[in-house]
Amino acid sequence: MTKLETPTKKTLGTRLKELVRQQIFIPIAALLILVVFNLIVDPSFFAITLGQNNNGDPVLSGYLITILNNASELVILAIGMTLVTSASGGQDISVGATIAIAGSVILRILCGDQVRPETMQAPIIVAFLVGCVVAMLFGAFNGTLVAYFKIQPMVATLIMFTAGRSIAAWINNNTLPIVNDPVFAYFGNFIPGIPVPTPVFIAIACMIVIALVLKFTTLGLYTQSVGINSHSSRLNGIDPAFVKFLTYVILGLCVAVAALIKVSRISTINYSVIAKDIEMDAILAVALGGNALSGGKFNMAASILGAYVIQFLTTTLYKFNVASDALPAYKAVVVIILVVMSAPVVREKLSKMWKARKEAK
């Protein structure tokens, strides 16, 4: 028996080691820590209740639903951001500002010239498609600067970061249009009769689309090869500039979807506040997923999980009555702990210490 036990133990140990080495382990571990912490402090965190909203429709409520709901935009952005990071080795810091632009365009199409029209001036799908085109154009602008003018991504997107919210205000002549139609609010809230918030479905749809795209097209392969070595990809017949350009356009599409959810949540827009600091959270999601911010290989699932971890953390902090202004300080501490724990240097040192201790025994 003992002879049999030792090999199984070893395989279990090596399996554990393999698991720890995997990239997705970082966000999973972070999520587990947060879950365990909440379980110990207050198990009611995980309670989900079926209630009714003002219109008498059934809705699910609870912290978990809040997390899933509020993380939707972040997840959608993280998908695009992962591709951009992988291909260009830099991040797009203009996503918050472009969300403001896309949201402004959507409202402009829906409201026409009026500030508070009785009926919508155009079908939602038209407004959304125009929003997509505009967001993709701005993505293309960023992409052109990065891919063809060879400007560092963070610097190139600094332009839109500076101008974006101003352009958004300019599109609507600095008025705040309000959409009265309840149908428009479905995208950011609940569809009557379905108790799960709509953004969750939109986020899941985006995940399925990107999973299919990565599975059945060469997008993933090309982005990673360009990110790892753009010169050798060129020699292999890939156009690195075009691949980089494409990832920024895809991020533009993600931005448009996130913008639809954002403006639908409140049926209006606030140019200086909408999606504020979301670019930082999106980049953090990519980093928490263990992806190198300097480009190259990526793990989409880890990024998406990273986005949920960030929202989980935010909601946990809100639950402990942390003022929303003071929230960043706590977030920073947690982020530093997570990042230090997952830093390769620290992990190497820890494993060396672990080995030394084992040998000493």
Partner 1 sequence: MAPEISVKNGKLSRRAGISDTNLLLTITIVVFFVMYACAVIFLGSGFQKPQAFFNILNDNAALIILSCGMSIVMITGGIDISVGTLTALVCMSCAVHLDYNGGSVITAMLLALGIGVAFGLVQGYLVAYLEIQPFIVSLAGMFFAKGMTTIVNATQFNVEHEAFKALKATRIYVPGMGSINKLGKYVPAYVEPGVVVALLVVIALFILLRWGKLGRNFYAVGGNMHSANMLGINVRRTKFLAHLLCSTLAGIGGFVYFMHVGSGSPSHASGAEMNAIASSIIGGTMLSGGVGNVVGTFFGVLSLSTIKNIVSSLGLDEAWWTNITVAAMICLFLVVQSVVLLRKNQSKQ
Instruction: List residues near partner 1 by CB under 8 A.
Output: 91, 145, 149-152, 154-156, 158-163, 165-167, 169-170, 174, 280, 283-284, 287, 293-294, 323, 325-333, 335-336, 339-340, 343-346
As measured in angstroms, the least distance from the Cβ of 320 to partner 1 is 14
- Closer residue to partner 1 (CB): 176 or 335: 335
Q: Which residue lies nearer to partner 1 by CB, 52 or 152?
A: 152
Nearest approach in angstroms of CB 287 to partner 1 is 5
- The structure tokens listed for 9 are 């133990």
Kindly state the smallest distance separating residue 326's Cβ from partner 1, in Å: 5
Q: How far is the CB of 108 from partner 1 (least distance, A)?
A: 15
* DSSP per residue, 248-313: HHHHHHHHHHHHHHHHHHHSS--TTTTTTTHHHHHHHHHHHTT--TT-S---HHHHHHHHHHHHHH
Q: Are 52 and 189 in contact (CB under 8 A)?
A: no
Q: Which residue has the tokens 């919210």?
A: 165
Rounded to an integer, what distance in angstroms lies between the CA atom of residue 139 and that of residue 133?
10
CB of 24 to partner 1, least distance (A): 18
Alpha-carbon span 201 to 264, nearest angstrom: 14
Closer residue to partner 1 (CB): 50 or 332:
332
Residue closer to partner 1 by CB (options 60, 101) is 101
According to DSSP, the residues that pair with 51 across neighbouring strands are: 59
Nearer to partner 1, 92 or 261 (CB): 92
Cβ 347 to partner 1 shortest distance, Å: 10
Return the number of the residue (29 or 327) whose C-beta is nearest partner 1: 327
DSSP annotation string for 131-165: HHHHHHHHHHHHHHHHHTS---HHHHHHHHHHHHH
